[in-house]
Amino acid sequence: MNGRPEHLPDRRTVLRGTALAAGGVLLGGLAGLTPATGALAAARPKVYTRTDWKARAPKNRIEVLGKGPTHIVVHHTATGNVSDTSTAHAASLSRSIQRYHMDHNGWSDTGQQLTISRGGHIMEGRDRTLQAIGDGHHVIGAHTADHNSHTIGIENEGTYSTATPPAALMRSLVDTCAWLCLVYRLDPQEAIVGHRDYNSTNCPGDKLYSMLPDLRRDVASRLREQLSHLGRVTGVEISLEQLPTFPDTPSSERVATFYHGPAVGELDVSL
């Protein structure tokens, strides 16, 4: 696992080049479609912006890489499993996380790129995230130590060591992961991982972690539907099996509010 931030993006480039050289239908067929174009934009679920939840401005300008992430990291917030499923609560949660990350951790902004509440409301996290995804780029966050340069993080509200995440949250997690896999041309079987796959932590909780195989399967099913739609739009037959793949990564404790394991390491250059 150590050193992955350095070589994974290069491997991704090589794999993409190989697929194109071999006439890969997916990458060739979607080459002219950016995430912002209508065909791909239609796959984006409802995401509440930072303006919607009244985010504070970041302390410093957030760094954006001109290439996409290779992996999607699933987290839990390690907070209470509340019963409030309202949009107002989701906005309040985002403000609380931002306040903790900026004022307690001393970071420039919220660490993760996206947050999903127990009510299934998807919130933009770190500044510039939605714009970066729209451009096919990557906002460097602070959520997975030593791997922030190539991973996009999704915080899921609650503690899932033994409790099962609400159905609304899981539906939104499927929608979000499918959207990101489509935008970044990622294979869900390889790209979707848990925080513990990279760092010594229990995150995203034993229960949610045990559900990742089902999440990957559900995302793949949703992705097939989206690829079929794109095939009809573009006139190009597209198959999930033609997505590039990446190496697997295997690894466990919660300490304080909004802390669920190492988020920043020596290899991370930006908070």
Nearest to 79 by CA among 143, 194, 169, 159: 159
Nearest to 15 by CA among 176, 134, 184: 184
Distance CA 244, CA 25 (A): 11
Residue labelled with tokens 């070589």? 7
Q: What is the count of structural domains for the chain?
A: 1
17: alpha, beta or left, given left = phi > 0 and alpha = psi -120 to 50? alpha
Q: Which residues contact 63 (CB under 8 A, 6 or more apart)?
A: 139, 140, 269, 270
Q: Is residue 247 part of a domain?
A: no
Of 108-117, 215-224, 237-246, least confident by mean pLDDT is 237-246
Residue 210 belongs to domain with CATH number:
3.40.80.10
Whether pTM exceeds 0.85: no
For residue 58, pLDDT beyond 70: yes
Distance CA 244, CA 68 (A): 13
Q: Tokens for 11?
A: 């491997």
Q: Is residue 230 part of a domain?
A: no
Nearest to 129 by CA among 148, 113, 111, 117: 113
Assess contact for 245 and 190: CB atoms under 8 A: yes
Element (H, E) at 4: helix 4-21
**Residue-range definition of the domain harbouring residue 86:** 34-225
**Percent of the chain topping pLDDT 90:** 66
Q: Please, is 67 exposed, middle or buried when counting C-beta atoms within 10 Å of its C-beta (0-12, 13-18, 19+)?
A: middle
Q: Is residue 161 part of a domain?
A: yes
**Residue 154, helix vs strand vs coil:** strand
Q: Residues 93-100: what's their mean pLDDT?
A: 97
Name the maximum alpha-carbon separation found in the chain: 52
Distance CA 190, CA 195 (A): 14
Q: Is residue 181 part of a domain?
A: yes
Q: Is residue 84 part of a domain?
A: yes
Q: Is residue 71 part of a domain?
A: yes
Q: Residues 115-122: what's their mean pLDDT?
A: 98
Distance CA 54, CA 162 (A): 33
From the CB of residue 18, how many other CB atoms can be counted at a distance below 10 Å? 12
Residues 125-163 pLDDT 10s:
999 999 999 999 999 999 999 999 999 999 999 999 999
Residues 183-232 pLDDT 10s:
999 999 999 999 999 999 999 999 999 999 999 999 999 988 887 777 67
Distance CA 119, CA 172 (A): 9
DSSP E strand stretches across 190-244: 192-194
Q: Tokens for 69?
A: 């992430």
Q: Which residues contact 100 (CB under 8 A, 6 or more apart)?
A: 257, 258
The DSSP result for 22-47, as a single string, is: TT-HHHHHHTT--TTSHHHHTT---E
DSSP class of residue 78 equals -
Q: Is residue 102 part of a domain?
A: yes
Distance CA 62, CA 223 (A): 30
Distance CA 243, CA 107 (A): 35
Q: Residues 52-74: what's their mean pLDDT?
A: 97
